[in-house]
Chains A and B, each alone.
Chain A
Amino acid sequence: MMLHVEGLHSYYGRAHILADVTLEAREGEVLALLGRNGAGKSTTLKSVIGLVRPSAGAITFAGARIEGLSPFRIARLGLGFVPEDRRIFTDLSVMENLEVGRQAPRGGAPTWTPDRLFELFPNLGRMRDRPGGRMSGGEQQMLTIARTLMGNPRCVLLDEPSEGLAPLIVEQMAKTIRTLKAEGLSVVLSEQNLHFSAMVADRAVIIEKGRVRFTGTMDELRADEQARTQYLSV
């Protein structure tokens, strides 16, 4: 088991955002968290990485309990986080952005160098010294993933990777995620785009109003029309 979340509760102020979320991501698989805007997908990911402090529940990552730790300690255990709004350091060049994400090589996880990343994202290799702020949205989205990979994570959390991207770029993103999986990484992503999830995910969890409503393989989700219409409004 790569990541196991058990009975997670989180609040924003007084608003109860997550109510008893339980899910698990197995080693080497791609898990999609599905649900409407505001359902609690993003909060789940942020609670796992420590940006939101859960009020109750247990989070186990690669055998270690991580709930309540600071984000940097969690990241140093090999859990990477790619935020939804990219959050590139716009004043820093591509190379500097990667430098901020750099961590020591880690056993049991692929080791990334800028050169290896530029093979995966050839565009970035052509703009090493360009400030992040002068890149297009698609390029920024690639940089934010590359930056997280510089930490040599064992598992990556991707928050809404396809949001706001052109269809063509979304296809490239799907290809990237499949490559990461082939490298042996575990991936947990939150999504609203079912087309995209269907292309990359092995299993899916549906969250609605802070609760888990469905857990199963993508094939099971395909077969469960009720879950799709009721919780995903497709």
Chain B
Amino acid sequence: MSFASILAQLLNGLAGASSLFMVAAGLSLIFGVTRVVNFAHGSLYMLGLYVAYSTVEFLGRTPLGFWGAIVVATIVIGALGALIEIAILRRIYRAPELFQLLATFAVVLVIKDVALAIWGAEELVGPRAPGLSRTVEIMGRRVPQYDLALIVIAPLLLLGLWLALTRTRWGALVRAATQDREMVGALGVDERKLFTGVFFVGAALAGLGGALQLPREPANLGLDLAVIADAFVVTVVGGLGSIPGAFIAAILIGVVKAFCIALGTQSVLGLEISFSKLTLVVEFLVMAIVLVVRPYGLLGRPPAQQRAVGEITTLPNMPDWRRWLPFVALLALIPFAAPDDRYLLVLLTDIAILSLFAVSLHVLMGPSGMVSFGHAAYFGVAAYAAAILMRKVQLPMEVAVAVAPFVAGAVALVYGWFCVRLSGVYLAMLTLAFAQITWSVIFQWDSLTGGSNGLTGVWPPAWLADKRVYFWLTLVLCALGIGLLWRMLFSPFGYALRAGRDSPLRAEAIGIDVRRLQWFAFALAGAFAGLGGALFAFSKGSISPELASIAQSTDALVMVLLGGVETITGPIAGAAIFTWLKDELARRTEYWRSVFGLVILALVLLFPQGVVGGLAMLWRRVRPAS
């Protein structure tokens, strides 16, 4: 590559980085002050792009119309952010952190459907920026004028933010609240206004980031989760809470991505490697290197205080298998009671598999104190491993199902090595980034995974062809898996995990290598999720990248939270309710996501202390009356 082409790619990368920086800066700012990881930040970006598109259409494709649209989109999205804060988050700041996350995730679902209703499912290509639509020749290369404008805007914005944060009273209050919001309130500062203001600024940054991409990127409904994953990578690499860090990280990643695309397909050591398809993998490598050298990101610092995520005061007693066995047996009898109800059988099989999936996530979230936003990676990897082993390697299905969990466990071992270096939100963001990478590898590796079409013809052998027999196999394996995981929780190993969660300081002081245990637990949870994934593949006959998607990961998260992190058996109840509800909604309306999101919001707002806690409280109120 010549110097000129390197320069051209550098400029291209910098231009792409500017929007990423804005989203990540907004995310960081909001998290810093409110401790809310705003899952909906990618959605705000997406909306910024859509709103800018429509506003340009309305105002006309003139310079005034274009820049007017950018300003309008920024303000509208900022106001929307403030509205979300006032209407939802303000009511649940005292609720457990994970419930706030659940609420912002519900907002993601609602926004997606609103965008679908208003703008439709088709991609919308915006206009070029009037007045900046030409290219400039730099060293013989044509560089779009608009890219140069973006390259200038981002550092100006960084400067503006930095001045606002370090030179104004508002900035001092924001930084103080980032550290101790309660104390700021006790000193006479109206935190509610401060929080709403921060949400406005953070959301406006996301909206601006989206709007500015109008000439470069078509508006589409997949942007929300794609952008949030990118933003998480940037914040983790730059250091959570550091806006200059977000800037540097965005540039680093933007430039690396641009170079990969420019490299195209290259022959390395006789192997044809398509770098343009490997952007996410390269992003992952950058992140991995940064995290090994600086665990809290380039400019980040270890979080001052880490709150335990599982709000458990004590673990309930170990479930007694003698009490559970009749229950499992009863489930096994259902196919006899309703022999012709194929729908029921499919639903029960799904519930059994997703129960194992949810329990394996709960092992991480509750007793181990590691929240994973990307547990579906292992579910999906195992599903693909099983399918590929059978279809392409021609192994028997039984062997494929047995091997697949080990593949998932091995992947979890690799990802986990990085994840357990972090804790709390950092860890959660990293798991999500890994899952997104896994998804895109599956999505892009056409020759092996069938790409977006997935793989079909993944059917079990004749002896399992009967849906009832398959259900029984699933039931037995999932019950065994859940039983083993539960048993593990009460073993010395499980206790040591809890010890590491309760007090890392004390655990280390009595010789416990917390990180190593967590690493092992991570792999174990991945492997059991993998067993679920493999069984799932053969129950459906076909698989798609959806199985490793963020949506699938958050499904598991919702199941665990619905059931209750502080319980043992809750995840099973959560999986059953969730699967049934989703199924019912999806059959009735195209907009099932938003209905589901509203249900979650209602639950979170009605029971800010947790659904299970809320129900328990209701029960206590009702019982004396009856």
Contact = CB atoms under 8 A, between A and B. Distances in A.
Interface string B197-210: 00000000000000
A104 B190 CA distance: 14
A147 B184 CA distance: 11
A72 B176 contact: no
Given A72-B191, A99-B169, A51 B186 contact: yes
Given A72-B189, A72-B190, A148-B187, A96 B172 contact: yes
Given A89-B175, A91-B175, A100 B189 contact: yes
Nearest to A101: B187
Contacts of B187: 72, 75, 81, 100-101, 147-148, 151
B414 interface: no
A91 B179 CA distance: 8
Contact of B185 (A72, A96, A103): A72
Contacts of A89: 175-176, 179-180, 183
A75 B175 contact: no
Contacts of A97: 176
A76 interface: yes
A101 B185 CA distance: 10
A179 interface: no
Contact of B188 (A75, A83, A87, A92): A75
A87 B304 CA distance: 12
A49 B190 CA distance: 14
B476 interface: no
A71 B175 contact: no
A76 B193 CA distance: 15
B182 interface: yes
B173 interface: yes
Contacts of B304: 90
A37 interface: no
Interface residues of A, number: 24
A174 B108 CA distance: 55
B185 A92 contact: no
Contacts of A83: 183, 186
Contacts of A49: 186
Interface in B187-227: 187-192
A92 B172 contact: yes
A148 B187 CA distance: 7
A146 to B, nearest CB: 12
Interface string A113-148: 000000000000000000000000000000000011
A70 interface: yes
B188 A151 contact: yes
A81 B185 CA distance: 10
Interface in A55-97: 70-72, 75-76, 81, 83, 87, 89-92, 96-97
B613 to A, nearest CB: 11
A75 B187 CA distance: 6
A97 B192 CA distance: 20
Contacts of A96: 172, 175-176
A49 B187 CA distance: 10
Contact of A81 (B169, B173, B179, B186): B186
Nearest to A152: B188
A163 B192 CA distance: 32
Q: Interface centre among B183, B185, B192, B304, by most A CB within 10 Å?
A: B183
A72 B186 CA distance: 5
A92 B189 contact: no
Given A89-B180, A90-B304, A91-B179, A100 B186 contact: no
Given A90-B304, A99-B169, A71 B186 contact: yes
Nearest to B190: A72
Contact of A51 (B172, B178, B182, B189): B182
Interface string A31-55: 0000000000000000001110000
Interface in B565-587: none
A72 B172 contact: no
Given A72-B191, A91-B179, A99 B172 contact: yes
A95 to B, nearest CB: 9
Contacts of B186: 49-51, 71-72, 75, 81, 83
Q: Interface centre among B178, B185, B191, by most A CB within 10 Å?
A: B185
A151 B191 CA distance: 16
A87 B180 contact: yes
Contacts of A151: 187-188
A97 B176 CA distance: 8
Contacts of B189: 72, 100
Given A72-B190, A72-B191, A90-B304, A100 B173 contact: yes
B312 to A, nearest CB: 13
Contacts of B173: 100
A76 B176 CA distance: 18
A76 B188 contact: yes
A79 B188 CA distance: 9
Contacts of B172: 92, 96, 99-100
A96 B174 CA distance: 11
A83 B183 CA distance: 8
Nearest to B184: A100
Nearest to A96: B172
Contacts of B169: 99
B417 to A, nearest CB: 31
Interface string A201-232: 00000000000000000000000000000000
Contacts of B183: 83, 87, 89
A122 B187 CA distance: 23
B354 to A, nearest CB: 32
Nearest to A99: B172
A51 B192 CA distance: 15
Given A49-B186, A71-B186, A87-B183, A92 B175 contact: yes
Contacts of B180: 87, 89
Contacts of A72: 185-191
A87 B180 CA distance: 7
Contacts of A92: 172, 175-176, 179
Nearest to B187: A101
A222 to B, nearest CB: 34
B436 to A, nearest CB: 31
Nearest first, the 5 closest Cβ-Cβ pairs linking A and B are A75-B188, A71-B185, A89-B176, A71-B186, A100-B176
Given A72-B187, A81-B187, 10 more contacts: A71-B185, A72-B185, A72-B189, A83-B183, A83-B186, A90-B179, A96-B172, A100-B176, A100-B187, A148-B187
15 contacts: A51-B186, A70-B190, A71-B182, A72-B187, A72-B191, A81-B186, A87-B183, A89-B175, A89-B179, A91-B178, A92-B179, A96-B175, A99-B172, A100-B172, A101-B187
Interface of A: 49-51, 70-72, 75-76, 81, 83, 87, 89-92, 96-97, 99-101, 103, 147-148, 151
